[in-house]
Amino acid sequence: MMAVLKALETSGATEPNMATFCLHCRSGTSPRIVCLGCAGVFCFQNPELPAPCFLRGHASKSSKCHLGMDLVCRELFCLVCGAMVMPDDQELQLLSRRLFPAVKRAFAPGCLARTTSTIFPARGFRNLGNTCYMNVVLQILLRIPELQTYLLTDHHNRLKHRPTEDQPYACCCVCELVDFLQHYSAHALPPSSSSSPKSPPDSISPIGFLFALWANSADGDEFAGYRESDAHECLLACLNQLHTATQVPSGLPTTGEGVVGCQCPIDLLFRCELRSLVVCGSCGEQSETVDPLLDLSLEIAHLAHLPLLRLQDCLDSFTRPERLKEKCYTCSRCLIASPDTTKALAFERLPHILCFQLKRFEHHGSTSVKLDKHVQFPLLLDMRPYVARGSEPARKTMGDTGLYYRLTGIVRHQGSVTSGHYQAIVWQDEQWFCFNDETVSLVTLQHLRAIEAYLLVYSFVPSS
């Protein structure tokens, strides 16, 4: 086993110099699992068989044929149950880290940490027919370092989502994201494509992710065909699918209320809590409710008259107390629907990744218009004014020294309500990249500030 691993480590080729056919099905299409006991090579997935070849390859497995390695991503697999494993042997751990540098590290399940910004290079996605709305979402998600860590470590078992006889078209959005990072990472680029800055990497065709988006969500029908769709709706559909596919098994420690908190990466990164405080205008009775959110939609139509509209103005308007209409709310204490009753919103818990949607599309009956009002957004956003007073969960999570967020991603829409195009601007390697489907270009700070943003993505800045 150690000899096989050392041979892989010293091999300078992008593909290991080993057998190129599966020892079980004799197919040469996708052999990628090597047994570290007997050096046999097997298929990772064969759609014509009910189980992967590497699980059926050994008729009688000996004690030395229980561990295998994925030749593509260099992950270790159990050849008995198919689960990804982390080695206990120190020499084996060292070789595993060398085979997959800066990424393959041991983390507790559900724990997230940062990786380097060079995991996924600046590569464009091909437009598969008005799929720019999906391409911009992929560019944003694949460049979140904490999500990269989750996808590139042993947290998602792709064998659970492989096609079977009962579900021949089974697919998974998380598996597709893992494939993107493994097959198109900076380490996977051939030397010829990365040696010259004038020859950028080839674009990626996200057809597998698009099919998974169609098949696994109730929102899939909205994205089927070649009609244009909304990037914000696609973002929510992707987050919902990732949330479903990355659920942590039960048996986790419970919260103070006795409820098991979700430990999936989507909840840990994107989930925030919004507190709604209603104060009765007659007796002063207060009523509080807390709702979970994955993003925040901000109105800009009522602020279009401002000569200079800022993102902070939208947040101030969103959290400012407003009077409820008469008979809109009846107090549970005095049973009076007072017109002086007020409602105020504030953050009870802030997320690690903060997403804003600027509502540029207005629909009034059969009429729809797009608001082209420019909204000035800061590169560093302070969220402390918008946290609920006495909100212990938010302050305990983010600390008491500051609640600052750094701008890391922008999605803009060019065009009208009925026809338009999406582009993503992402912060990576200390510079801004503009992803226009297959085309990738650099963006200056002056050009960045003039962008009419539709979606804004901020990442929390830990206090020093």
CATH code for the domain in which residue 29 is found? 3.30.40.10
For all residues of the chain together, what is the average pLDDT? 76
Give dist(CA 58, CA 24) in Å, integer.
Answer: 8
Residue 9 clears pLDDT 80, i.e. is over it: no
Write down the residue that tokens 């989930």 correspond to.
Answer: 271
Give the type of residue at 180: F
| pLDDT tens sequence across 209-236 | 998 888 876 655 666 666 678 999 999 9
Judge if 147 and 179 occupy the same domain.
Answer: yes
Judge if 322 and 456 occupy the same domain.
Answer: yes
Judge if 237 and 299 occupy the same domain.
Answer: no
Q: Assess if residue 275 is contained within a domain.
A: yes
pLDDT at 66: 74
Judge if 164 and 212 occupy the same domain.
Answer: yes
Q: How many domains does the chain have?
A: 3
β-partners of residue 288 are 277
pLDDT at 159: 66
pLDDT-derived band at 264 (thresholds 50, 70, 90) equals: confident
Q: Are 233 and 222 in contact (CB under 8 A)?
A: yes
Q: Assess if residue 326 is contained within a domain.
A: yes
Q: Assess if residue 157 is contained within a domain.
A: yes
Judge if 322 and 238 occupy the same domain.
Answer: no
Give dist(CA 217, CA 20) in Å, integer.
Answer: 37
pLDDT-derived band at 91 (thresholds 50, 70, 90) equals: low
Residue 360 DSSP SS3:
coil
pLDDT at 363: 80
Which two tokens mark 10?
């010293």
Q: What is the mean pLDDT of residues 333-341?
A: 79
pLDDT-derived band at 293 (thresholds 50, 70, 90) equals: very high
Residue 89 clears pLDDT 50, i.e. is over it: yes
Q: Are 431 and 442 in contact (CB under 8 A)?
A: yes
Q: How far is CA 164 from the centre of its chain?
A: 26
Q: Assess if residue 253 is contained within a domain.
A: no
Domain boundary among 81, 100, 119: 100
Judge if 233 and 341 occupy the same domain.
Answer: no
Q: What is the mean pLDDT of residues 132-151?
A: 90
Q: Which of 120-124, 256-260, 339-343, 409-413 has the highest mean pLDDT?
A: 409-413
pLDDT-derived band at 12 (thresholds 50, 70, 90) equals: very low
Q: Are 385 and 393 in contact (CB under 8 A)?
A: no
8-22, 293-307, 342-356 — which is least confidently predicted? Answer: 8-22
Residue 331 DSSP SS3:
coil
H or E element, residue 152: none
Q: Are 144 and 167 in contact (CB under 8 A)?
A: no
Domain boundary among 100, 128, 157: 100
β-partners of residue 422 are 413
Q: Are 159 and 68 in contact (CB under 8 A)?
A: no
Q: How far is CA 421 from the centre of its chain?
A: 22
Residue 79 clears pLDDT 70, i.e. is over it: yes
Q: Are 123 and 136 in contact (CB under 8 A)?
A: no
Q: Are 53 and 24 in contact (CB under 8 A)?
A: yes
Which residue in 205, 228, 203, 141 sits closest to 439, CA to CA?
Answer: 203
Q: Assess if residue 255 is contained within a domain.
A: no
pLDDT at 134: 94
pLDDT at 236: 93
Give dist(CA 187, CA 185) in Å, integer.
Answer: 5
Q: Which of 59-73, 280-294, 431-445 has the highest mean pLDDT?
A: 431-445
Q: Assess if residue 293 is contained within a domain.
A: yes
pLDDT at 253: 45
Q: Assess if residue 79 is contained within a domain.
A: yes
Judge if 183 and 115 occupy the same domain.
Answer: yes
Judge if 352 and 329 occupy the same domain.
Answer: yes
141-145, 249-253, 452-456 — which is least confidently predicted? Answer: 249-253
422: how many CB neighbours lie within 10 A of its CB? 28
The residues, any chain, with a CB within 8 Å of residue 137's CB and separated by 6 or more, are: 231, 234, 235, 238, 411
pLDDT at 16: 38
Expressed as residue numbers, the domain containing 160 is 107-247+262-270
Residue 319, CA distances (Å) to 76, 220, 345 in order: 49, 33, 5
pLDDT-derived band at 201 (thresholds 50, 70, 90) equals: low
Q: Assess if residue 384 is contained within a domain.
A: yes
Judge if 84 and 147 occupy the same domain.
Answer: no
Residue 36 DSSP SS3:
coil
pLDDT at 40: 75
Judge if 304 and 452 occupy the same domain.
Answer: yes
pLDDT at 245: 86
Judge if 128 and 76 occupy the same domain.
Answer: no
CATH number of the domain at 275, please: 3.90.70.10
Judge if 177 and 275 occupy the same domain.
Answer: no
Which two tokens mark 86?
């982390």
Domain boundary among 72, 100, 128: 100
| pLDDT tens sequence across 38-58 | 777 777 666 566 667 777 766
Q: What is the mean pLDDT of residues 439-445?
A: 94
pLDDT at 74: 60
Share of the chain above pLDDT 70, in %: 64
* pLDDT: which is higher, 403 or 316: 316
